[in-house]
Each structure stands twice: as structure tokens, then as C-alpha cells.
Amino acid sequence: MENVMSQPAWHKVAEVELIYKSNLRASERPKITSSKDASELLMAVWNENKIDFVEQFKILLLNRANRVLGIVEISSGGVTGTVADPKLIFAAALKANACGIIISHNHPSCNLNPSRADEELTQKIKHAGKFLDITLLDHVIVTSEGYYSFADEGLL
């Protein structure tokens, strides 16, 4: 009997396919020119039943002209936090061939001030993006009553 373990297992390797599909022409995609644009788009797609209930983390994927390629929900957590895994953030950005990203999460408490963890995550994502040539353009905290922009506050 032949030893199966000694044979190459090429037929057992998963195939990975990277694709991005859009039903919109580039000129039809929303263009982000300010934190206000980003917050308005985010609020238009945020589930109004969850914004004051649980913390969620989403990203806007942008092309070189700051046109929105897509919006991805990275995580949905509890009342006081959610996990924003940088691997998932950049997996989505790479799959869409994004040149820039805007990260965002909500504060169910309606407190717009960023936490120390928010600030640390922002810097972590910013530095990781540099290696991949994916620019972190902003981190927007949204609530049902307003928004906070890290870029506007000079924290990027």
C-alpha cells in the first residue's frame, strides 16, 4: 500500500478568487469630499433601529477619486463596544481594490467623544494602511444626533 502522506496534495488546495462587481458606473458612485458627505452616507445606510442600541463598525471603500466602491459592515457588538479586526478591514479594502478607506462606528450612548481605544485603533489602521498604499482618510463616529470626524479634529 502506497503512503498517501508522501504524495503532494495539490488537489487539496483551495482556490482563491478575487473579484469586485458593481452595478454602477464610476460616475454614478457617490463622491466623498468631506466628513459631512461621509456621515450623511453612513447615516443613510445605518439601521436606525440599531444606532442607539448596539455598537457597529463599518467602512467606506473609496477609489482614487474618492468615489464609493462599497460599504462593508465589519462587526456588530454590544452596548459598549465591538471588535474591529484590522485583517477584515484590509481584506475588504484589498478585495475592492480600494485606494482609500473611511472607518466608522457608532456610539449608542450618543457621546461623540472618541475613547482612547478609538484613538489607538485609528492609528493602528492608519499605519497598517501605509504599507498597503491604502490611505485612511477619516474615522467617523456617528450617533443619531450627530457625528465626530478624526480628520476634522486633526487626529489623523
State pLDDT tens for residues 82-110. 889 999 999 999 999 999 999 999 999 99
Please indicate, yes or no, if residue 106 is contained in any of the structural domains.
Answer: yes
And the C-alpha cell for 154?
486633526
Please check whether residue 154 lies inside any domain of the structure.
Answer: no
Instruction: Give the pLDDT band (50/70/90) at residue 34.
Output: very high
pLDDT, position 132: 96
Decide if 42 contacts 59 (C-beta within 8 A): no
**pLDDT above 70 for 6:** no
Q: How many domains does one find in the chain?
A: 1
Q: Is residue 122 part of a domain?
A: yes
pLDDT over 70 at 151, yes or no: yes
Domain ranges, residue 133: 31-149
